[in-house]
Each structure stands twice: as structure tokens, then as C-alpha cells.
């Protein structure tokens, strides 16, 4: 599991908006997507820090790395968002992540099952709950994304990410409305709460 950390802090009135939130992001596609969204809302992502893959330790290991960064950089943050996909997590690893999230008051889990592509596909169509078992299930969403894009979808491709976002009437609301029935997190079924997170983030500006 690849994890990236976005660190954002408040800025002066004439500069891009900077949030005092920290995003720990799993994967290059998430990194490209949130960077594109932040640009649209003039939010500054000041630092991207990668930490090694950590599986079920995504919360504890990610926060440990963050504490080290905060100490070195003499910064502190109000809230932490752990943004991951199910990918190849086991049920016990997922439960461990949920448990550690619940034990950290200022930490939230943003989760897509099986992967972030379920959210990206929601820019084009209504998404519904269905059983999923492994990352192989995401192949269905990837094929559909390729069809909508008119070319082979590539993870982390920032040009394609922009194309996906630009295809919708609104950069967040369209996909959020199309995932309204799958916002509740579930290990066994297709789900994503990316839209809930983004609305909370943008409304807090």
C-alpha cells in the first residue's frame, strides 16, 4: 500500500487558501486527483510526503511519520484524513484500521472499495452497491472509465484526471450525488465516502 501525505496550513488573504488539515493519501491516483481538486478551489497543497506501504498499519504508521515531520518542521495540524483504498487489505487489517481511527479523535478515514476508481466513475454514472472481493473487481470500473475517456485509463494520469473532472457539471457535486447510496463504509461491498470528505473540506473554507 503506497501512502502519500498532503500537508496544508492556512495562508494570508492574497494567497491560495491553505487548510490546517493533513491528508495521508494511498496511491498515485489519489495524489493526482486531490491535487487537481485543490487547484480548482484554490487550495494550496504545500508538501507531499511519501511513507512506505503499511497495510493494516496505515493509521499508526502514517501518524508516526507525521509526528516526526511536525517535530522537525515545528508545525501541528488540526485534523488528519487517512485516505486509502481496500486494494488487497484483509478483513482483519481493515478492522485494525477502523479501530485505530476510532481511537484517534482528530483522525478520519476516507475509504473506497475496491479503489478510488469507483469515485472517478461516478463523474459519469450513478454508482450502486455490489459485492466486491479483491482488486480484480476494480477491472470493471477501469474498463468503463476507459470507455468514457475514449482511451485506455491509466492510474495517476493527471491529464485524464482533469478530463474526468471537467466532464461533470460540478467538480464535486456530480460524483457526490452519484455515490449517495454507497457512502456507508463496508468491507464486502462497493463504497466510497470521498464525496462526504470533500464537501466537509470545501464547506470549511
Dig out the grid coordinates for 34 from the structure. 486531490
Phi, psi of 26 (to 5 degrees): -95, 105
Strand order in the sheet with 107-113: 47-51, 3-7, 21-26, 79-85, 107-113, 191-192
Coarse DSSP helix, strand, coil percentages of the chain, rounded to the nearest 5 percent: 45, 20, 35
Q: How far apart are the first and last CA of the chain?
A: 30
pTM to 2 decimals? 0.87
* Tens place of pLDDT per residue across the chain (205 aa): 555 544 444 444 555 555 578 888 878 899 899 889 988 888 765 555 666 667 899 999 888 877 887 788 777 788 888 999 998 899 999 999 999 999 999 999 999 999 999 999 999 999 999 999 877 788 999 999 999 999 999 999 999 999 999 999 999 999 999 999 999 999 999 999 999 999 988 876 6
Measured CA to CA, the distance from residue 28 to residue 170 in angstroms comes to: 23
Amino acid at each position: 500500500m503506497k501512502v502519500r501525505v498532503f500537508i496544508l496550513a492556512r495562508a494570508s488573504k492574497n494567497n491560495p487558501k491553505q487548510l490546517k488539515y493533513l491528508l495521508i493519501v494511498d496511491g498515485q491516483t489519489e495524489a493526482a486527483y486531490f491535487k487537481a481538486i485543490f487547484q480548482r478551489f484554490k487550495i494550496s497543497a504545500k508538501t507531499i510526503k511519501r511513507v512506505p506501504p503499511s497495510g493494516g498499519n496505515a493509521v499508526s504508521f502514517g501518524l508516526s511519520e507525521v509526528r516526526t515531520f511536525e517535530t522537525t518542521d515545528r508545525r501541528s495540524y488540526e485534523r488528519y484524513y487517512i485516505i486509502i483504498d481496500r486494494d488487497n487489505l484483509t478483513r482483519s487489517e481493515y478492522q485494525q484500521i477502523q479501530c485505530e481511527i476510532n481511537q484517534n479523535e482528530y483522525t478520519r478515514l476516507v475509504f473506497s472499495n475496491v479503489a478510488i476508481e469507483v469515485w472517478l466513475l461516478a463523474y459519469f454514472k450513478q454508482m450502486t452497491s455490489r459485492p466486491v472481493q479483491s482488486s480484480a473487481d476494480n477491472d470493471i470500473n477501469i474498463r468503463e472509465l476507459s470507455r468514457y475517456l475514449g482511451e485506455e485509463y491509466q492510474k495517476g494520469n493527471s491529464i485524464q484526471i482533469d478530463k474526468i473532472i471537467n466532464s461533470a457539471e460540478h467538480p464535486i457535486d456530480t460524483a457526490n450525488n452519484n455515490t449517495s447510496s454507497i457512502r456507508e463504509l463496508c468491507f464486502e461491498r462497493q463504497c466510497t465516502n470521498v464525496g462526504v470528505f470533500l464537501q466537509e473540506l470545501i464547506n470549511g473554507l
